[in-house]
């Protein structure tokens, strides 16, 4: 599924099941909450903290998808074409970082 297809699918789902989009500020708060849930799993599963029993069954992919869902909602609400935005972002990074990471001794 492309980013454009994902944006269309989320929009259709919202119109069919969600009644309407939550406000942009509400969705920003939800996005923050979802990123926090993702961070908790990663910190405990891959970081130094031990994983709590209640976190062991959490699906990392599902948490990432929750973040993506809300981000797509925000893009739809604000008229952002994520495909175009992502393409421009890759171009920006490619120009800006063309040598930067190769010259970073921390990465060698």
Residue 80: how many CB atoms within 10 A of its CB?
A: 14
Query: 10 Å Cβ neighbour count for 41?
Result: 19
Contact 87, 4 (CB under 8 A): no
pLDDT in tens, 9-33: 999 999 999 999 999 999 999 999 9
Instruction: List, for residues 61-74, the tens digit of each pLDDT value.
Output: 999 999 999 999 99
Q: Where are the alpha helices (DSSP H) in the chain?
A: 3-13, 24-46, 60-78, 82-96
Q: What residue spans define the domains of the chain? A: 3-80
- Topology of the domain comprising 3-80: Helix Hairpins (1.10.287)
């Amino acid at each position: 599924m492309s980013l454009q297809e994902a944006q269309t699918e989320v929009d259709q789902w919202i119109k069919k099941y969600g009644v309407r989009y939550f406000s942009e500020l509400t969705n920003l708060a939800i996005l923050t909450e979802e990123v926090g849930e993702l961070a908790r799993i990663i910190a405990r599963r891959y970081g130094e903290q031990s994983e709590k029993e209640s976190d062991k069954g959490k699906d990392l992919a599902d948490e990432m998808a929750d973040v993506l869902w809300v981000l797509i909602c925000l893009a739809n609400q604000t008229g952002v074409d994520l495909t175009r935005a992502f393409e421009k972002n890759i171009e920006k990074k490619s120009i800006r970082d063309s040598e930067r990471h190769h010259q970073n001794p921390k990465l060698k």
